[in-house]
Structure 1
Amino acid sequence: MEIPILYQDEHIIVVEKPIDLPVHKNDFMPNDAAYLTKLVGDMTGKWIYNVHRLDSKTSGVIVLALSSEMAKELTLQFERKEVQKTYIALVQGNPGTGTFDQKVLVKKKSKFKKPAVTHYKTLETVETNISYKEKENVALSLVEVKPETGRWHQLRQHFAKNQFDIVGDTHHGDFTLNKIILADTDVRRLFLHAQKLEFVHPAEGTKMVFESKLPDEFQKVMEHYKK
């Protein structure tokens, strides 16, 4: 699997993570399973240090460090909330513009919750012919999302809690809607993409901004229901 590189120097590397690829190894994976830091390490011949997370099902831009010193500096930026992260999500309904600030679960099968803040702005909405249960002509919206915090599945939890489920979310989302959209469009993925990342270069001190093109599947689904 080839990982697109957006930027590389002697200190950091910025890449586009595909969907369904974990960032790092975990105890539940087979020994020979692929993961991002291993693939990037194989591509570059360097030891790769992870500094922030994207869910395996989320695609988009991610920064990795090439030394423990740079990893520490970048990790501190994330902890101090100095890094700007922008996502694009395809969601059920039209959430408009606002902020979700409910507490979210900290991990799977946990009952412990922590504060979380997610800002959002609807970019485009299409009304579909999808109707099921008590819902009629369900709207779908492309939404720009900017999290202030970085909790487990934070964006997925926040949108699901407020009945604006992210399309393709098989953990927190609307399973009936997911099945209908899959049958209609033959597109299977979590519709959450890390589109933009802004941080300060840990060695140079310069502002770095990287953007990842929105995957074609997002517009494919929107266009399907515009007909």
Structure 2
Amino acid sequence: MSDIKVIFQDDDLIVVDKPVDLPIHKNDFMPADAPYLTKEIGVLTGKSVFPVHRLDSKTSGVIVLAFSREIASELAQQFEQRKVEKTYAVVCKGIPGEGTFNKPVVIKKKKKRVNAYTAYKTIKSISTKISYKDITDVALSLVIAKPETGRWHQIRQHFAFERLDILGDTQHGDWTLNKIMTAQTDIKRLLLHAYTLTFTHPVTTEKMKVTAPIPEEFEQVLEQLNGYEVCLTDD
């Protein structure tokens, strides 16, 4: 619970910086005493807590929760109607530049693909001497991504489609590069972070922009892998 930083709180809602690997709510696969966000925030505030939107347990960053079902419903409608602006920070393989990914993505547990759009802009890039398989001198980039639709693992899928795999992604990403990152930096996490949210407060009608600072691990990976040399000939 000490790892959960409160960004904003009033009588109606709370915004926190969710730690990596913490689920939002309990599921059937978790031990009875396992921590999850709504439980921890309930203990922290002494109030009933209702989730408003989704954030994968492996993704850190800004998330909004409500203190009543009514407020949660009003906020959820803003997400469903795409009235909320979301930005994420990622560290990925390659140098994406700037543009929009528009390939359809897979819906969770279904074979069906649906339309999805993610705008992106590269903020910083570094070069390495990492080589493996058919890849030489891997570049890495810090990128800001803005999903215009809200699909399951949308950002992760979009980057993976273009071979711009997000570091630490064990489901859609590059396993070899993940191993290299962890071996050199001791960091073993998905480098995807919910950076900002802009929404309208359902009671005060104030336009709110809330920010969860980019984790130190993102810059640490770029610093420690900058110019790093390794050549793997047998994966």
Q: TM-score, normalised by structure 1?
A: 0.97
1:42 Cα deviation after fit: 0.8
CA distance in 2, matches of 1:179, 1:115: 32
Cα distance per residue 1:116-144 (max 9 Å; x no partner) = 11100000110111100111010000000
| Letter matched to residue 86 of structure 1 | T
The alignment status of 1:18 with 2:19, answered yes or no, reads yes
The alignment status of 1:147 with 2:155, answered yes or no, reads no
SS in 1 for 2:160: helix
| Letter matched to residue 199 of structure 1 | F
Residue of structure 2 in register with 1:38 after alignment: 39
SS in 1 for 2:130: coil
- Contact kept, 8 Å, 2:184 with 2:225, in 1: the verdict is no
The number of residues matched between the two structures is 226
Residue of structure 2 in register with 1:69 after alignment: 70
Residue of structure 2 in register with 1:88 after alignment: 89
1:226 Cα deviation after fit: 2.8
| Letter matched to residue 223 of structure 1 | E
Identity of aligned residues (%): 57
Residue of structure 1 in register with 2:198 after alignment: 198
Residue of structure 2 in register with 1:57 after alignment: 58
Residue of structure 2 in register with 1:187 after alignment: 187
CA distance in 1, matches of 2:168, 2:63: 21
- Contact kept, 8 Å, 2:87 with 2:145, in 1: the verdict is yes
- Contact kept, 8 Å, 2:88 with 2:193, in 1: the verdict is yes
CA distance in 1, matches of 2:24, 2:218: 22
CA distance in 2, matches of 1:72, 1:54: 17
Residue of structure 1 in register with 2:232 after alignment: none
CA distance in 2, matches of 1:176, 1:41: 40
Cα distance per residue 1:33-86 (max 9 Å; x no partner) = 111011001110101010101110000011101111101110000011000101
SS in 2 for 1:24: coil
1:106 Cα deviation after fit: 1.1
* Runs of 4+, deviation exceeding 4 Å: none
CA distance in 2, matches of 1:221, 1:72: 39
1:150 Cα deviation after fit: 1.0
| Letter matched to residue 54 of structure 1 | L
CA distance in 2, matches of 1:40, 1:116: 32
1:101 Cα deviation after fit: 1.1
1:112 Cα deviation after fit: 1.6
SS in 2 for 1:47: coil
1:158 Cα deviation after fit: 0.7
CA distance in 2, matches of 1:210, 1:224: 30
SS in 1 for 2:218: helix
Q: TM-score, normalised by structure 2?
A: 0.94
The alignment status of 1:226 with 2:226, answered yes or no, reads yes
CA distance in 1, matches of 2:198, 2:6: 16
Residues 199-214 of structure 1: pairs in structure 2 closer than 5 A: 199-214=199-214
